[in-house]
Every structure is written in structure tokens, then in C-alpha cells.
């Protein structure tokens, strides 16, 4: 998995440092504790920052709304993975 420094996140997404700090303070994003450098953001967090920025700056969603939408997106993604795993299991059972 790739990790990004604060500077890289800001440059890649063309955001200001204050926006990233706000997302961290509101616990919408966080640095990755599991990386070799605990001051780096995972690809997942980079995507959360990107989506939050789009929601807030392009769609006029407030910060709380963006947090809720991000949470719902992750729940949907988790459910999708569970359904896919279940479908694989069912195909295996039908094949045996």
C-alpha cells in the first residue's frame, strides 16, 4: 500500500493545509498508524480527503454531512464485499 505525506496530499489534491487540518480535527481523516512513518496518509485516507473536498467545495455539503456521506460510502463498500464473498461461497457450494 502506498502512503502519502501531508505535503503530497495537499499537492495531489490541490487543497490547502487548513482544510486537511479541519478534516483531522473532526476525525474525518487520520494518519495511518500502521505505516512505517506514522505521519503519512494511506491511499484510503487520500480518497476520503478527495471525496470530502468535492462534497464540501463542489456540492456545498457541510462538514457534518460530508462525514456522514463518507461513513455511508464505506458501509456500502463493506456490504458489497460481503455480498461478493457470499456469492463466491454460494457458487462453490453449487459446484460441489
Say how far apart CA 51 and CA 68 lie, in whole Å: 12
Beta strands in 1-96 (DSSP E): 3-4, 41-42
Say how far apart CA 44 and CA 42 lie, in whole Å: 5
Which pLDDT belongs to residue 35?
Answer: 61
Instruction: Please write the tens of the pLDDT for every residue from 19-68.
Output: 999 999 999 999 977 766 777 999 999 999 999 999 999 999 999 999 99
pLDDT surpasses 80 at 4: yes
Other Cβ atoms closer than 10 A to 42? 19
pLDDT surpasses 90 at 69: yes
Which pLDDT belongs to residue 37?
Answer: 72
pLDDT surpasses 70 at 75: yes
Closest by CA to 51, choosing from 40, 32, 67, 64, is 67
Q: Does 3-95 carry CATH code 1.10.1660?
A: yes
Say whether 12 sits in a helix, a strand or coil: helix
Amino acid at each position: 500500500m502506498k502512503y502519502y505525506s501531508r505535503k503530497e496530499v495537499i499537492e495531489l489534491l490541490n487543497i490547502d493545509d487548513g482544510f486537511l487540518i479541519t478534516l483531522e480535527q473532526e476525525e474525518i481523516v487520520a494518519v495511518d498508524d500502521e505505516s512505517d512513518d506514522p505521519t503519512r496518509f494511506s491511499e484510503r485516507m487520500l480518497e476520503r480527503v478527495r471525496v470530502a473536498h468535492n462534497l464540501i467545495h463542489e456540492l456545498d455539503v457541510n462538514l457534518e454531512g460530508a462525514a456522514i456521506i463518507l461513513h455511508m460510502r464505506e458501509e456500502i463498500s463493506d456490504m458489497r464485499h460481503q455480498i461478493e464473498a457470499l456469492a463466491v461461497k454460494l457458487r462453490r457450494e453449487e459446484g460441489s
